[in-house]
Amino acid sequence: MKSSKKEKSWILYDCTISTYSMIMVSTIFPLYLRLCFKNGGVMDGSFTVYWGYLNSFGRFLIAIAAPVLGTIADYKGYKMKFFKVFCVIGIIFTALLGIVPDEFYLLIAAIFVISTIGNAGSNIFYDAFLVDVTEKNRMDIISSIGFAAGYIGNLIAFAVCMVIVILSQLHKIPLSTSAAYKICFVITAIWCTIFSVPIIKNVKQEYGIEKEDKIVKNSFKRIYNTLKNIKKNKNLFVFLLAYFFFIDGVNTIITMATSFGADLGISTTSMLLVLLLTQLVAFPSAIIYGKLAEKYQGKTMLYVGIIIYSGICIYGFFIRDVVGFWILAMLVGTSQGGLQALSRSFFGKLVPKESNNEFFGFFNIFGRFATIIGPLLVSIATLITGKSTNGVLSILVLFIIGGLILMRVQYSDNKDKDSSLLKFKDIESQA
């Protein structure tokens, strides 16, 4: 079955989410901000601390606000309005980073936080639009293709930006390194704009609740009643708990990869190349996961992803050279997008369509805070043993716990009725 215009438009927006994350959070912008801080007299070691604070602050704000924003957006006609606002904020403030003078590094940091809030905020409603653009039996493949599109978008945009930066550093083009970085931010903003147009133009909110008076007050009441009646949402919240653990493991491996590579003596250039090739592997792998989920069910493929990641943790313990790191990176690429994509689509099947924004708000909270336990485990294991390979092995605990909790989630893709077992109408009647 061919994808509809709505599905294709939704899929394309993943190019903005993934590209922003790659260029602005993981690679180019951190290098630029470090340069600005260094020129401003801030020591390199101190920058690492500040960079952690900046990312934590932005994520914390959007994570706390996510359920409230999502609950309000459940009212008909509000989802796209919220999506547009956050999307535009993200694009404008990303572009602003291309024109602010380097010496105003605190202003640059503040603008980055706002751009992050815009990008992450739009992601809440983007995920929630999945239930509006496709049927339940196609959520796995559409979500997987979305992640795949994001990876190929990463590959193109990041490759262009990396070429500009490297050529400037080699003095092959008449640009300073700082100017090259700024061009990358403008490219990112333009890229995000291009891939935002289809979803804004072609996707509409199909499900929601009718508007009523005192929307904000009633939204808080709905959140309160959802939490108060958590037993009626047990199936969904059990999945969120499982998701918190195994996605913490995924995020930790992504976050700590460069640090682990540095411990093995891998150069920065080599690690950037590894990162590019990982995206190339992740592109078809995400689609394969989606296809297999159609045949063997999404929950089964979640188990497959968890098992593969568990194997990665064990293999990481035995790595002693650069070749082993390359193999590890390729293994991560095989399952990274698949596990993330199927988690999103599986959750989309569990939530009641009329209140999907509220519940995707909770999904966002668990995802945002899910890089807490893993880095702590890695740090403690490495500190005690003196070997980062032991730190990688410690992440295995997260996948084991996540997999065991996932076994408690009751769902079958073969059921025609709503398998979430969420009696949302009963909750609404108590509001």
Residues 108, 90: Cα–Cα separation, whole Å? 14
- Is the pLDDT assigned to residue 306 strictly greater than 90? yes
User: How many domains does one find in the chain?
Assistant: 1
| pTM of model > 0.85 | no
Query: Is residue 337 within 8 Å of residue 151, measured between CB atoms?
Result: yes
Whether residue 415 lies inside any domain: the answer is no
Whether residue 44 lies inside any domain: the answer is yes
Instruction: Name the residue with tokens 């997008």.
Output: 337
CATH number at residue 27: 1.20.1250.20
> Quick one: angle between helices 268-296 and 234-263, nearest 10?
150
Q: What is the mean pLDDT of residues 22-29?
A: 84
Q: What is the mean pLDDT of residues 112-117?
A: 92
Whether residue 332 lies inside any domain: the answer is yes
Q: What is the mean pLDDT of residues 8-35?
A: 89
C-alpha closest to that of 404 among 298, 307, 293: 307
CA dihedral 390, 394, 400, 401 (to 10 degrees): 170
How confident is residue 73, by pLDDT bands cut at 50, 70 and 90? confident
Q: Output the pLDDT for position 12.
A: 95
Q: Output the pLDDT for position 49.
A: 63
Sign of the CA dihedral 158, 162, 163, 165?
positive
Q: Which of 63-77, 116-130, 303-317, 385-399 is least confident?
A: 63-77
Q: Output the pLDDT for position 426.
A: 43
Residues 133, 198: Cα–Cα separation, whole Å? 13
Tell me: the pLDDT tens digits for 202-244? 999 888 778 777 777 777 777 777 666 556 778 888 998 999 8
Q: What range does the domain containing 392 cover?
A: 5-206+214-410
What letter does residue 21 receive in the DSSP assignment? I
Whether residue 421 lies inside any domain: the answer is no
Q: Which of 83-97, 114-128, 224-238 is least confident?
A: 224-238
Encoded tokens for 268? 């920065």
How confident is residue 178, by pLDDT bands cut at 50, 70 and 90? very high
Residues above pLDDT 90, as percent of the chain: 29
Cα 208 → chain centroid = 25
Whether residue 431 lies inside any domain: the answer is no
- Is the pLDDT assigned to residue 256 strictly greater than 70? no
Residues 147, 153: Cα–Cα separation, whole Å? 10
Q: Which of 127-131, 256-260, 413-417 is least confident?
A: 413-417
C-alpha distances in Å from residue 80, one per residue of 88, 129, 190, 267: 12, 9, 20, 44
- Is the pLDDT assigned to residue 307 strictly greater than 90? yes
How confident is residue 100, by pLDDT bands cut at 50, 70 and 90? very high
Whether residue 416 lies inside any domain: the answer is no
Facing residues of 209 across strands? 75
Mean of pLDDT over the chain: 82
Query: Is residue 407 within 8 Å of residue 250, measured between CB atoms?
Result: no
Instruction: Report residue 294: phi and psi, to 5°.
Output: -65, -35
Q: Output the pLDDT for position 52.
A: 65
- Is the pLDDT assigned to residue 111 strictly greater than 80? yes
Whether residue 425 lies inside any domain: the answer is no
Whether residue 424 lies inside any domain: the answer is no
